[in-house]
Amino acid sequence: MKKKYQNIFFFVGILMFAIMITQLDFHEVWKGLCRAGYWFLASVFLWAFLYGINAESWNIILRSQRNPDGSKPEKQVPFGYLYKLTISGFSLNDATPAGLMGGEPYRIMSLAPIIGTERATSSVILFAMTHIFSHFWFWLLAIFLYIITQTVTTAMGILLFAVGTFCCLAIWFFMVGYRKGLALKCIELVSHIPGLKRKTLKFIAKHLQQLDNIDNQIAALHAQSHGSFVSAVFLELSCRVLSAFEIYFALLVVAPHASYINCILILAFTSLLANALFFMPMQLGGREGGFLLSTKGLAMTTTDGIFVALIIRVRECIWIAIGLLLIKFEQRQKKKSPQNSEHSDF
């Protein structure tokens, strides 16, 4: 990736990070950290492990890719470099509005000099699809857990039915996308935005073959490497389930009676509400509101919800900072990584 693009990603991330930091009450943050003690460190280190699971899911996708003649690509990406791009990409996604505005382009532009633009683009699209796809399965799992473990009122039953229906429709949409590819369809959707139709159609005409190749690589993962597809989805779903330990660690301080099942339900409800507010950097406000509502619904106090939300918010800030620092020092790391700039315009 050219240094100017690297600096753009870094400075945009820093700007959004600075805005988020100003929203924190540092006195409350310090009180919360002192109260959490070593459980806060456990939460931070937990995410070092979870990002590793994310990176392995992406690694499976990359290694399942094939050349047009069916042969295995010669160039592979070291796992350590994928791990770095995973952290940096998620830090940009968390810091920027609309979720996927920063992380995915950054990953594509970082990988393109190594494995080529088409392969980099298809792998990043597949990784993002699998990450989002796993969320819908996670929310479905949470619905069944809620029905089994909690008392379902009429209002809650209606809400669960609506969310379940939405998840099933989303899963169907993604399965169609896995079978046929989504790159060309997504570009065509952009053409319906006022003022972008002419430029988008011109882009499609110029890069139609590349878009078709990307879609073919996306479809090939599901059709030819079914085991790899299932493994990648399973790892991402496992990551969603295991991330509930972060809530469990925080609740051990304020509500030791809380069960791990309760933590999964809190995470599911909170992530559902936060993703509905995808246009906000770090889903500011949405995640906190989700914690307050979910803990209240599970017979926990409002104070418990505020404490958990604060601990998670501070942990996110730490990992965003780490991710942005990795972007800044990427140039040094790339000198140690195999590159082939002839494959990319970036």
| Number of C-beta neighbours around residue 148 at 10 A | 9
How do residues 58-79 score in pLDDT, each as one tens digit?
999 988 877 666 667 778 899 9
Contacts of 185 (CB under 8 A, 6+ apart): 177
The pLDDT score that the predictor gives to residue 6 is 58
> Model's pTM, two decimal places?
0.81
pLDDT tens-digit map of 229-261: 889 999 999 999 999 999 999 888 877 777 899
How far is Cα 170 from Cα 341, in angstroms, rounded to an integer?
Answer: 37
Q: What is the mean pLDDT of the chain?
A: 79
pLDDT score of 212 = 77
Is the pLDDT at 10 greater than 70? The verdict is no
* pLDDT of 45 strictly over 80: yes
Question: pLDDT tens digits, residue range 282-341?
Answer: 555 556 666 666 666 555 666 777 778 788 888 988 898 899 888 877 655 555 544 444
CA 58 to mean position of chain CA atoms = 12
Distance CA 269, CA 263 (A): 10
- The pLDDT tens digits for 108-142 are 888 988 888 888 888 888 898 899 899 999 999 99
Q: Which long-range contacts (CB under 8 A, 24 or more apart) does 279-286 make?
A: 279/97, 279/98, 280/97, 281/16, 281/19, 281/20, 281/94, 281/95, 281/96, 281/97, 282/20, 282/94, 282/95, 282/313, 282/316, 282/320, 284/20, 284/23
pLDDT at 147: 93
